[in-house]
Amino acid sequence: MAVGRKPRVESLDLSLLGVEVSEQTRGIKVNETMQTTNPNIYAIGDVTNIIQLAHVASHQGTVAAESIAGLDSKMHYDLVPSAIFTDPEVGHVGLTEKQAKDENKEVKISKFDFAANGKSIAMDETRGFVKIITDPEKNIILGATIVGTHGTDMIATLSNLINSETDLEEAVKVIYAHPTAAEALHEALLTGLDRGLHNA
């Protein structure tokens, strides 16, 4: 059983280094470049206690290294993908349907079931779906969830589309190899434009 984690910073004598602990996160306080309150010290990963995920720590490290090298690099946390390695897998990024309702945002939900995907049928892995949440006015993706085989891998494609604010009309122009589970992404995008090709 796991009841959570927290960084152990008490033994680091941070006050001697001029490094402060954040009251909000209870981790080492950093700015968007991962610089601490001592301009010569940077911190990344679980010790910052912002989001305790390996891929967040890795990206924080890249931002810190680029910042130290003088590049304009900043950390953003609004599009951190979630990867849950259950059976079936769950991948998620961006706005959820519940968040949209709580924020009274007008959104369009499009969904495609893996039960209608050729590769999933061949693999006998038809559980799950791709769900995409779009802004109907701007015609861009705000969030996405994939429940199914390789969902944690495929969420990166949707992360890129959200980050680049790609118009759905442009997003559906990409050709997906057949037969692949990734075709379910294309189908969900097409469904968002009311042009879905297959249904379960």
55 catalytic residue (yes or no): no
How far apart are alpha carbons 185 and 21 in whole angstroms?
42
What pLDDT score does 10 carry?
Answer: 81
Is residue 200's pLDDT more than 60?
no
The alpha-carbon radius of gyration of the chain (Å, integer) is 20
Instruction: Give the residue among 189, 96, 76, 87 at the shortest CA–CA distance from 145.
Output: 96
Looking at the fold, whether 56 and 130 belong to one and the same domain comes out as no
Provide the pLDDT for residue 59: 97
Residues 132-176 have pLDDT tens digits of 999 999 999 999 999 999 999 999 999 999 999 999 999 999 999
Q: Distance (Å, rounded) from C-alpha 96 to C-alpha 144?
A: 7
Structure tokens at 131: 């769900």
Answer yes or no: is 1 within a domain: no
pLDDT at 90 over 80: yes
Question: Average pLDDT in the 172-183 region?
Answer: 95
42 and 102 in one domain?
no
Query: 86 near 92, Cβ under 8 Å?
Result: no
What distance in Å separates the CA atoms of residue 105 and residue 146, rounded to the nearest whole number? 21
Q: What is the C-alpha separation between 90 and 110, in angstroms, rounded? A: 17
* Mean pLDDT value across residues 2-12: 79
pLDDT attached to residue 198: 78
Number of domains in the chain: 2
- Domain limits for position 155: 82-192
- Does residue 73 lie in a domain region? no
Is there a single domain that holds both residue 99 and residue 182? yes
Q: Are residues 62 and 110 in the same domain?
A: no
Task: Assess if residue 88 is contained within a domain.
Answer: yes
Q: What is the pLDDT of residues 22-59, one digit of tens each?
A: 988 889 999 999 999 999 999 999 999 999 999 999 99
Q: What is the mean pLDDT of residues 56-74?
A: 97
pLDDT tens digits along 103-132: 999 999 999 999 999 999 999 999 999 999
Question: Which pTM was predicted?
Answer: 0.87
Farthest CA pair distance, the chain: 63
Annotated catalytic residue, options 92, 178, 186, 198: 178
Q: Give the residue from 190, 95, 91 showing the smallest Cα distance to 147.
A: 91
Distance CA 192, CA 172 (A): 10
Q: Considering the domain boundaries, does residue 108 fall inside one?
A: yes
Q: Tell whether 57 is covered by a domain.
A: yes
Q: Is residue 49 part of a domain?
A: yes
Taking a C-beta distance cutoff of 8 angstroms, is the pair 141, 133 a contact?
Answer: yes
Secondary structure of 3-66 in HEC code, one letter for each residue: CCCCCCCHHHCHHHHCCCECCCCCCECCCCCCECCCCCCECCHHHHCCCCCHHHHHHHHHHHHH
Token pair, residue 113, equals: 């079931």
User: Which three-class secondary structure state does DSSP give residue 124?
Assistant: coil
Tell me how crowded residue 27 is: count the other CB atoms within 10 A of its CB.
Answer: 19
Residue 75, in any domain of the structure = no
pLDDT attached to residue 1: 63
pLDDT score at 155: 97
Alpha carbons 6 and 53: distance in angstroms, whole number: 13
